[in-house]
Structure 1
Amino acid sequence: MVAQVTLTPNEGKRLIAEAVATLPELQQALKNGKVLFKGGTTVSALTEKLLGIPMRISGRISARGALTSVEADPGTPHTLLVDRGVPKNVDQEILSAVRSLGPGDIAIVGANALDRYGHTAMMAGTVGGGPPGEGWTSLMTEGATVWILAGWDKLIPTTIEEAVAASGRKKTSIALGMSVGLMPLFGKVYTETEAFGILGKVKATVIGKGGILGGEGATVYALEGEEEEVLRLFHLVEQLKGTGVSGARDSLKECTGPNPRCATHEACVYGKRNTLRRRT
């Protein structure tokens, strides 16, 4: 049997969370080891599913550009460590949290770019991506398993190598929002395609992308398999329809103009950080 379903980016994030939450390796690490979650809307969908804890969202891409939050409770974690079942906000101790990880532990992060080869990268709007970025660079040396949650809305037509070369905070003269560089990520990538395969014995194929009237960025999938499996996943998608953005509500409010955080950003037209205006 073949069914066709459509997922918006927000719905896709919830699907990925539904699937990853069932993985035995994650359940084992949550109970007997450590799991580090780096805040983003896809990862927040997972922490909300597993722990009932929404993550603080910092950087984001909105219709206005690459921006950051303007109001957020500092007690809400942007980086969360679960150590043998006990969650802890480690925003002020990211490096030590990363260094505490080892084989059998899992670190989970989202991505801003995914290329056709399955390579991924994360945007950085501050030097080195700030403490989280510095921590994730160190992570690659510690032997923990890295999972990257990235929906097909993150797919780029170039390679990650080309995108990294084209980006750069200080090489950009003017930007809608903060200019960004890209930090390549390395690990196991989970898209909606993998999510469907985890949740049921089906083959999921992307057959179209894009949309209007709230469907912007949506992806259309063909699900093929035994009727019972296909229909079960079809009904799951129906339950996910209309899902809104994940993450702590207060952290979704974005900056609109000059504020103290502008000093850490480059080229932003809203914060009057662009070099073209500096010359006039």
Structure 2
Amino acid sequence: MQRALVTLTSPESKRLIAKAVVALDEVQYALKNGFVYIATGTTAAYITEEILGEKIEKEKWTVGIISKGRTCVTPKETWPKHLVLYKGKPFEGEPIEALKEMGPDDVFIKGANAIDPNWNVAVFAAAPDGGTIGKTYGWTIAKGVLTITPISLEKFVPTPVEYSAKITGTRVFDWGTGLYSALVPIPHAIPITEIEAYDILANVDAVPIAAGGAGGAEGSVTLVLEGEDEDMERAKEITKQIKGEPYLKPYTEDCAKCPFAKTCGLGSGTF
């Protein structure tokens, strides 16, 4: 048996989680035989890179974002489309057409903004129609589509997400430091954190023991890894591969032309 102490920065965690999601048997099966629907988001961008084998501008592969110390959105002219693959190739139809056809053997991947002590996850929704989760939730839950949520432990919150959902919304706030949003639970999602990632990729136990840092380690998580010698050597190699993953560049919309200005503390001038 071996034991190791590992600190991962936020981007390193996202790369680790991305590799684990792609390695899942269910995802590999869907890539070969059915649909893999990847909703846009920064963590999902890492998964997209792992599947496609090419680099993308990850900071632009999202609409909603928490950046520059505020909840915000990216510039509208670069809002990306969801990536839908059918048997490993880009789906030629619209994403909604894929959702209509998907079933239990297919995979829907959606990042999130919170994971609570019960391992329930939730995502921000700021658009009037509920954004991505509002447009896709009915299709995935009604047909039993396997929903995977890649989410780092940096997003762990002590508040149960079912309570958070009751006190958030785009029109319930009087002022704030950014875009007003609702936190929407995804009850049928299977979260993949650093804990699950090390288990999937190396068959080792990962125990989170600390979080945060400074000087480039903000948002980091510190883990104790434990496992058999051979598995721990694999974990070491995986950790070496992801160390040094660069941070994403800040990328947000100009408040003067943001379509969400009226439901934002900064855009509306209430803060």
TM-score (norm 1): 0.87
Residue in 2 aligned with 1:203? 205
Counterpart of 1:192 in structure 2 is 194
- The one of 232, 240, 243 equivalent to 2:242 is 240
Q: Write the letter of the residue equivalent to 1:216.
A: E
Q: Distance in 2 between matches of 1:132 and 1:232?
A: 36
- The one-letter amino acid paired with 2:83 is L
- What's 1:257 paired with? 255
Equivalent position amino acid for 1:262 in 2: F
Aligned letter for 2:175?
I
Post-superposition shift, 1:175? 1.8
**What letter corresponds to residue 42 of structure 2 in structure 1?**
T
Which residue is 1:84 aligned to?
87
Report Cα offsets for 1:69-128 as digits up to 9, x if no partner.
115545x43x111012211487xx443331221121111111101000011111011113
Q: Give the match for residue 62 of structure 2.
A: 57
Residues in 2 aligned to 1:63 and 1:259: alpha-carbon distance in whole angstroms: 17
Cα-to-partner distance string for 1:31-75 (whole Å, 9 max, x where unaligned):
11111110111111111001136462111111331110115545x
Letter in 2 for 1:64: G
C-alpha root-mean-square deviation of aligned residues, in Å? 2.1
Change (3 A) 1:207 1:232: same
Runs of 4+ in 1 over 6 A off after TM superposition: none
1:68 paired residue number: 73
Secondary structure of 1:104's counterpart equals coil
Task: Give the corresponding residue for 2:163.
Answer: 162
* Cα distance in structure 1, aligned partners of 2:138 and 2:246: 31
Partner of 2:267: 271
Partner of residue 14, structure 1: 15
Any idea what SS the aligned residue of 2:129 has? helix
1:139-170 Cα deviation digits (max 9, x unpaired):
21122111111110111011011211121110
SS of residue in 1 equivalent to 2:176 = coil
Q: Could you list the runs of 5+ residues in structure 2 that have no partner in the other structure?
A: none
Mapped partners of 1:245, 1:136: distance in 2: 30
Aligned residues: 265
1:77-226 paired onto structure 2 within 5 Å: 77=81, 79-88=82-91, 93-130=94-131, 133-185=134-186, 186-226=188-228
Cα distance in 2 for residues equivalent to 1:260 and 1:207: 40
Contact 2:180–2:265 (8 Å) recurs in 1: no
- Which residue is equivalent to 2:46? 45
In structure 1, stretches of 5+ residues that fail to align are none
How far, CA to CA, are the matches of 1:140 and 1:48 in structure 2?
26
Please tell me the residue identity of whatever aligns with 2:160: T
Structure 2 CA distance, aligned partners of 1:89 and 1:119?
A: 33
TM-score of the superposed pair, with normalisation by structure 2: 0.90
